[in-house]
Structure 1
Amino acid sequence: MSLSLLPEDRARTTLHTIALAVSQLSISGVPEQRLLMDSGLSSADLQTPEKLISPAQELRVFANAIHCTRDPALGLSLGLRMHVSAYGILGYSMLASRTLRDALNLALAQQTLLGTYFKLHLEEDGDEARLVARGYRYAPELMVFNTELCLTSLLTVIRDLLGEAVRPRRVQLSYRPPLHAHAYNRLFGCPVEFGESISTLCFSAALLDRELPLADPVSCHYGVQQCLKLAAQLDSGQDVLEQIRHHLSNNMPQATSLERVASHLHRSARTLRRHLTRMNTSYQRLLDEVRYDKARQLLMQTDMPIYLIAEQLGYSETASFRHAFLRWSGQTPSVYRR
């Protein structure tokens, strides 16, 4: 399965989800090396809490996990193990919030830290509250897995926050029943409706104003400040990445080194390298991302010969471009163009 990097697949996220997945599956006998294969991650990375990863790396681990386990309901079972403590400072701030509503609003305001592939919203309709998951734009072959993981992890968090095993009223899903649909009712413990326009986790609105058993206003305030600081760091680093990408996109043949890019951006190469390291990426990785985007655009939208596309992307030899494109997409440029 080839998990190509989408143009919007740029943000960095924490590795709490895959660290949990690798830990759980290792207990079941799945080797870490197989789960991390082709992700650019090592076992040592999973022991580094501050390390940031790209969605493409996380999706690769998910795809490896499905391939290794052959378990179609893996998203459901992993989500039920995603306890609130797995979200680091965000999770502890939620635990210390006054009510469930406050905790959920905090999480929804910090979706970068939540690490979701969806745009999540909390909606109320009479006596029913809904956590709605929209806007999935990533690997389509992992859409069911990621929806299952998202909704079951939200349910697990709600249960952790309230300190009781509450059941949803119903679950709505935006896809047809998969072959393992029978597992949904058992794991969610409520009616499940497939083929809906959106995916939602529905529960009693009365729970929203329930005071949380571990509420602590001082700890919550401190935690929220730390969440805001961490989110700002992520956003700041992301701005620098976008500046580099923009320059590469407009100056592809001339952008031969990080030093030249730094000069054009009026920054030192050392400063840019520090930003790239903090965002768990590198100049070469960014260059590959931009080249891949540009290559797909030229292959699909123009009749430009492949040797000229290679020149436009800064390759001195067409063969080097072919090898790179095969590595990115799993296809040669000619096959992709068809």
Structure 2
Amino acid sequence: MAAPLLPERVMTTLHTIALAVESLAEEVPRPRLLDGSGVACSDLDTPDKLISHAQELRVFANALSCTRDPALGLSLGLRMHVSAYGILGYTMLASRTLRDALNIALANASLLGSYFTLTLEEDGAEARLVATGYRYAPELMVFNSELCLTSLLTVIQDLLGEAVRPRRVRLPYRPPLHAAAYTEKLGCPVDFGDSRTALCFNAALLDRPLPLADPVTCHHGLQQCQKLDAQLTSRHDVLDQIREHLAGHLSEASNLDRVARSLHRSERTLRRHLQRLNTSYQRLLDEVRYDKARQLLLQTDLPIYLIAEQLGYAETASFRHAFQRWSGQPPSQYRR
């Protein structure tokens, strides 16, 4: 059984949870929303700080728990204006047409921070922004689907400078208890139980000139977007290099200095790099150990003590405690 991609491995910006914290300020105290996420209140004032999807998902779960508002995803998405995306948002505003703006967003997907893979389709008079590939937190799938589609609608309206009513929204799940809120907030038919997740609108809008179009601003903004996207990708590459080294040296319980030398970097530089990504050597080591532990437990008959040795643990009890912390259950129960 292949292990799913861990949400700890994907980095994103703070803009979505900053919006959630601001929107819910009168209902829920900041510390309660951020509880257990590893995000400090002061981090919200640091525009260039990155967090993992796992941290963001924890904030979303806290928000749903605190507000008990099942339609929270819809509400937050409708408040996520194009300016929330920083330089990407302003570059989209300066684009020539809606089509150009959406293509810029899709080409710099890491700056959107979406949990989905987004594509733009055209079928006669209908255009669709299709969201596929959701692979995190099944209990938050409805929330994230709502947040994704309504935020896309808000962006389209901001870009065009006018209210736009979708032709329809397509969703792959059954109507939730708050299904009536969809029609109320979106103003269009909603197809539940569909085969896809999609926001459908008039294709004629794609070639509509944008009111704030400015080719010079768009050109310079696009260069900055590409640079930021490359930086984010390169940061992920370094994390993958660290994980790859650890995966091949778990039995030696490699320290950060050894990893740094293998990557031809100083330990100090690597530690700073990890701090900027809001992670640590120990967190990465835990991720790799957890991945390997699940693989060995599910795909081999090795006794627990030998698995512990392969993961670099001197004592089997230490591995048992760690696995309980990672998965919520002991390794023997996970293996069943």
Q: Do the two structures share a fold, i.e. TM-score over 0.5?
A: yes
Which ranges of structure 1 fall in alignment gaps of 5 or more residues?
none
Kept in 1: contact 2:260–2:267 (CA 8 A): yes
- 2:299 is the counterpart of 1:301: yes
Q: Which residue number in structure 2 is paired with residue 144 of structure 1?
A: 142
Q: Which residue number in structure 2 is paired with residue 20 of structure 1?
A: 19
Could you list the per-position Cα deviations for residues 161-193 of structure 1 after superposition, in whole angstroms to 9, with x for gaps in the alignment?
111111000111011111111111111100100
**1:57 Cα deviation from its structure 2 partner:** 0.7
**1:99 Cα deviation from its structure 2 partner:** 0.8
Amino acid at match of 2:156: I
**Partner of residue 261 from structure 2, selected from 248, 260, 263:** 263
Equivalence map 1:244-263=2 (5 Å): 244-263=242-261
Amino acid at match of 1:112: S
Secondary structure (helix, strand or coil) at the match of 2:121 reads strand
Q: Which residue number in structure 2 is paired with residue 236 of structure 1?
A: 234
CA RMSD of the aligned region, Å?
1.5
- In the aligned structure 2, how far is the partner of 1:317 from the partner of 1:67? 38
Kept in 1: contact 2:7–2:52 (CA 8 A): no
Secondary structure (helix, strand or coil) at the match of 1:103 reads helix
Could you list the per-position Cα deviations for residues 43-90 of structure 1 after superposition, in whole angstroms to 9, with x for gaps in the alignment?
011111100011111111111111111111111111011111111110
**1:5 Cα deviation from its structure 2 partner:** 8.0
Kept in 2: contact 1:5–1:56 (CA 8 A): no
Q: Which residue number in structure 1 is paired with residue 197 of structure 2?
A: 199
Q: Which residue number in structure 1 is paired with residue 151 of structure 2?
A: 153
TM-score by length of 1: 0.95
TM-score by length of 2: 0.96
Q: Which residue number in structure 2 is paired with residue 182 of structure 1?
A: 180
Amino acid at match of 2:30: E
Kept in 2: contact 1:5–1:289 (CA 8 A): no
Q: Which residue number in structure 2 is paired with residue 116 of structure 1?
A: 114
**1:9 Cα deviation from its structure 2 partner:** 5.1
**1:252 Cα deviation from its structure 2 partner:** 0.4
- In the aligned structure 2, how far is the partner of 1:299 from the partner of 1:18? 36
Amino acid at match of 1:18: I
Q: Which residue number in structure 1 is paired with residue 38 of structure 2?
A: 40
Amino acid at match of 2:289: R
- In the aligned structure 1, how far is the partner of 2:293 from the partner of 2:7? 16
Secondary structure (helix, strand or coil) at the match of 2:119 reads strand
- In the aligned structure 2, how far is the partner of 1:6 from the partner of 1:26? 32
- In the aligned structure 1, how far is the partner of 2:53 from the partner of 2:61? 12
- 2:57 is the counterpart of 1:59: yes
Q: Which residue number in structure 1 is paired with residue 218 of structure 2?
A: 220
**1:274 Cα deviation from its structure 2 partner:** 2.9
Amino acid at match of 2:18: A
Q: Percent of aligned pairs with the same residue?
A: 76
- In the aligned structure 2, how far is the partner of 1:275 from the partner of 1:83? 31
Could you list the per-position Cα deviations for residues 279-307 of structure 1 after superposition, in whole angstroms to 9, with x for gaps in the alignment?
22211111111011111111222222222
Secondary structure (helix, strand or coil) at the match of 2:131 reads strand
- In the aligned structure 2, how far is the partner of 1:83 from the partner of 1:16? 11
**1:14 Cα deviation from its structure 2 partner:** 0.5
Secondary structure (helix, strand or coil) at the match of 1:316 reads coil
**1:316 Cα deviation from its structure 2 partner:** 1.5
Kept in 1: contact 2:246–2:254 (CA 8 A): no
**1:238 Cα deviation from its structure 2 partner:** 1.2
- 2:1 is the counterpart of 1:6: no
Amino acid at match of 1:180: H
Corresponding residue pairs, total: 334
- In the aligned structure 1, how far is the partner of 2:36 from the partner of 2:94? 38
Kept in 2: contact 1:259–1:268 (CA 8 A): yes
Kept in 1: contact 2:30–2:41 (CA 8 A): yes
- In the aligned structure 2, how far is the partner of 1:299 from the partner of 1:211? 57
- In the aligned structure 2, how far is the partner of 1:229 from the partner of 1:318? 46
Secondary structure (helix, strand or coil) at the match of 2:86 reads helix
Kept in 1: contact 2:4–2:135 (CA 8 A): no
Secondary structure (helix, strand or coil) at the match of 2:172 reads coil
Kept in 2: contact 1:244–1:261 (CA 8 A): yes
Kindly report structure 1 stretches of 4+ aligned residues shifted beyond 4 Å: none
- In the aligned structure 1, how far is the partner of 2:326 from the partner of 2:31? 21
Kept in 2: contact 1:276–1:283 (CA 8 A): yes
Which ranges of structure 2 fall in alignment gaps of 5 or more residues?
none
Amino acid at match of 2:184: R
